[in-house]
């Protein structure tokens, strides 16, 4: 979570708030023994809204707190609630790690209150490479300390049971498979990934640990060149310590660490044990699968984000499957594109958004909306140039794949349905299917390239100086 820089004037009422928010702020004031002095809503977060709040007590002291609130949602299979996050905070209380402290849990509403850790989360904005590396290494040190804590007595809602790491990884797999199934929209790549994860479940010796479940840049705070807090514990669960290293490497795709292999070495020094590279590669598949499931379920999200996220994260999932399975895939060359009669219209709209709307506006929301609209226009322009060729290439690739088991469909939609059935019934060879999805990822990436900007070519970072993660894509 990133706390915005615009503070409110001192206030006694919250008339602009909606739903449960007025009563929540009153609850915060009561818990802290004072009156809400100011509040600033945080940006980010997929499941909860958050505010940095200052409460002035009668003696003039200011209590700096952080409120997380999950609005009501229909009943579902997802167990990750703020009340469950409170269980996590109670489990880590007193550990030698830098994290916020739980102050209170709302007795009725899905809301928790913690103290407000110092620092900011904008890791990508740091330009001092040695400082960035030192902060990343400190995060690894705290993760090692977290993983050293016995977890046998920790109980979390919806969590797994059993003495082995494999028991808890299997529980997480079941949770995310249920979340995928709940969406009611089958996706052959996700079916392939879940099947591979089930078939290759690691069963290592060693104690079950509490894992952060979303560790890495964006989910820690820093100040003056040092880590101040690990934040956003909503996905924490019992499991394999190597999963947190996989999450860290996933988050490095968006906010790179100067030398991720050096951070892995920092974890090894702090934990006193060598990493298990193959288990990290397994968990990269699981982490990528989770991220694709989140996007798959979030059908009402910002369209521009959906375009960029889908292209990037589906490719990363293919790369993770290739790395973990040891099956190299061939990435086809991009499709040659040419301008159309409509290309100048798209260019005109983009010029207006950039040079008129963004350049002349001082409203941050208008600017953000215009930039997102520009990404959508870029994607539509790419579809105008490439759409027919992409679908033709897709159909040809599907027919070549499905011809091997005699289930090719006559049309594109029929072929896609046949692929889904073939994967669900394991009639298609895994390596062949992975090769098809690599081609699909290249085509999706080409369509989203202009909208994606610099992240279009990002990959998982290397785990060691000599290792190379992911395949180079055009």
**Tens digits of per-residue pLDDT, 317-353?**
999 999 999 999 999 999 998 899 999 999 999 999 9
Buried b or exposed e, range 376-393, using 16+ CB within 10 angstroms: ebbbbbbebbbeeebeeb
* The predicted structure's pLDDT at residue 410: 75
* The predicted structure's pLDDT at residue 104: 97
* The predicted structure's pLDDT at residue 42: 84
Topology of domain 2-115, per CATH?
Phosphorylase Kinase; domain 1 (3.30.200)
* The predicted structure's pLDDT at residue 299: 63
User: 220-223 and 102-105: which strand pairing?
Assistant: unpaired
* The predicted structure's pLDDT at residue 58: 95
Q: Residue 247: pLDDT band by 50, 70, 90 thresholds?
A: very high
Q: Residue 294: pLDDT band by 50, 70, 90 thresholds?
A: very high
What does the mean pLDDT of the chain come to?
A: 90
Is the distance from CB of 201 to CB of 449 less than 8 angstroms?
no
Question: Of the ranges 21-25, 115-119, 198-202, which one carries the lowest mean pLDDT score?
Answer: 21-25
Q: Residue 175: pLDDT band by 50, 70, 90 thresholds?
A: very high
User: Residue 9 above 80 pLDDT?
Assistant: no
* The predicted structure's pLDDT at residue 11: 35
* The predicted structure's pLDDT at residue 225: 96
User: Residue 196 above 90 pLDDT?
Assistant: yes
Q: In this structure, what token pair is assigned to residue 387?
A: 């759409």
Ranges of H-type helices in 107-208? 129-148, 165-183, 188-199
Judge residue 93's burial from the number of C-beta atoms within 10 Å of its C-beta, 0-12 exposed, 13-18 middle, 19 or more buried.
Answer: exposed
pLDDT tens column, 11-42: 333 333 345 778 899 999 999 999 999 999 88
* The predicted structure's pLDDT at residue 160: 85
* The predicted structure's pLDDT at residue 472: 37
* Residue-range domain boundaries for the chain: 2-115, 123-300
- CA gap 116, 388 in Å, rounded: 52
* The predicted structure's pLDDT at residue 71: 87
pLDDT tens column, 420-467: 999 999 999 999 999 999 999 999 999 999 999 989 889 999 998 754
* The predicted structure's pLDDT at residue 469: 39
CATH of domain 123-300: 3.90.1200.10
């Amino acid at each position: 979570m990133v706390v915005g820089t615009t503070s409110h004037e001192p206030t006694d009422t919250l008339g602009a708030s909606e739903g449960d928010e007025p009563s929540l702020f009153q609850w915060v004031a009561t818990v802290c023994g004072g009156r809400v002095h100011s509040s600033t809503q945080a940006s980010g977060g997929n499941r909860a809204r958050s505010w940095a709040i200052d409460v002035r007590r009668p003696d003039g002291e200011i209590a700096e707190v952080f409120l997380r609130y999950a609005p009501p949602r229909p009943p579902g299979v997802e167990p990750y609630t703020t009340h469950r996050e409170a269980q996590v905070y109670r489990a880590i209380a007193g550990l030698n790690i830098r994290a916020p402290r739980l102050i209170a849990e709302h007795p009725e509403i899905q809301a928790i209150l913690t103290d407000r850790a110092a620092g900011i989360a904008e890791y990508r904005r740091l330009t001092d490479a040695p400082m960035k590396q030192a902060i990343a290494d400190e995060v690894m040190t705290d993760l090692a300390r977290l993983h050293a804590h016995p977890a046998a007595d920790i109980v979390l809602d919806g969590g797994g049971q059993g003495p082995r790491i494999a028991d808890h990884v299997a529980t997480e797999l079941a949770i995310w498979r249920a979340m995928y199934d709940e969406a009611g929209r089958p996706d052959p790549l996700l079916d392939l990934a879940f099947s591979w994860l089930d078939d290759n479940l690691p069963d290592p010796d060693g104690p079950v640990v509490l894992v952060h479940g979303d560790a890495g840049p964006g989910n820690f705070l820093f100040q003056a060149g040092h880590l101040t807090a690990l934040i956003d514990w909503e996905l924490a669960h019992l499991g394999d310590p190597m999963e947190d290293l996989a999450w860290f490497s996933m988050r490095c795709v968006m906010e790179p660490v100067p030398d991720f292999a050096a951070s892995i070495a920092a974890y090894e020094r702090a934990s006193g044990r060598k990493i298990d590279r193959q288990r990290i590669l397994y968990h990269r598949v699981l982490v990528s699968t989770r991220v694709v499931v989140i996007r798959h379920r979030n059908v009402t999200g910002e369209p521009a984000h959906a375009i960029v996220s889908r292209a990037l994260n589906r490719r990363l999932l293919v790369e993770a499957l290739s790395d973990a399975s040891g099956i190299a895939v061939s990435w086809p060359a991009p499709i040659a594109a040419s301008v159309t009669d409509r290309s100048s219209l798209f260019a005109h709209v983009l010029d207006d958004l950039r040079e008129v709307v963004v350049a002349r506006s001082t409203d941050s929301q208008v600017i953000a909306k215009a930039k997102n609209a520009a990404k959508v226009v870029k994607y539509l322009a790419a579809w105008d140039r490439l759409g027919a060729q992409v679908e033709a290439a897709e159909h040809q690739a599907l027919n070549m794949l499905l011809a091997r088991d005699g289930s090719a469909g006559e049309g594109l939609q029929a072929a896609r349905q046949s692929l889904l059935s073939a994967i669900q019934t394991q009639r298609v060879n895994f390596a062949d299917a992975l090769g098809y999805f690599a081609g699909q990822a290249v085509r999706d990436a080409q369509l989203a390239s202009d909208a994606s900007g610099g992240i279009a070519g990002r990959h998982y970072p290397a785990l060691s100086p000599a290792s190379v993660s992911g395949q180079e894509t055009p």
